[in-house]
Amino acid sequence: MSRMVQCVVLGRSAEGLAYAPYPGELGARIYREVSKEGWQRWVDHQTMLLNEYRMTPIDPKHRAFLVAEMQKFLFGEGSTQPEGFVPPTA
């Protein structure tokens, strides 16, 4: 049976992550409070941020920005869309 969490992203109970996806206390909190689906939503949003802002995870400033956006997306008021962003149509 899979581990269930009360997901802060989805606002409901959902299947939890198999492991902490980030190091330290932040990773432990994500493991406790974010579901697989909630985490995937963040990964998709992060990919959009990386592409729209033409960022690289190697740059310390970009990493710090992504961590701040991750915390807002998962536990805060939500991460913002880049100015002028138009989501792709299916």
Which residue shows structure tokens 């909190």?
A: 29
1 pLDDT higher than 70? no
pLDDT at res. 90: 66
Rounded to the nearest 10 degrees, what angle do helices 60-75 and 36-52 cross at?
Answer: 140
pLDDT at res. 84: 72
Q: Name the band, by pLDDT with cuts 50, 70 and 90, for residue 8.
A: very high
Q: Do residues 35 and 8 make contact, with C-beta atoms less than 8 angstroms apart?
A: no
pLDDT in tens, 19-37: 999 999 999 999 999 999 9
CATH no. of 4-75: 1.10.3880.10
pLDDT in tens, 40-87: 999 999 999 999 999 998 999 999 999 999 999 999 887 777 777 777
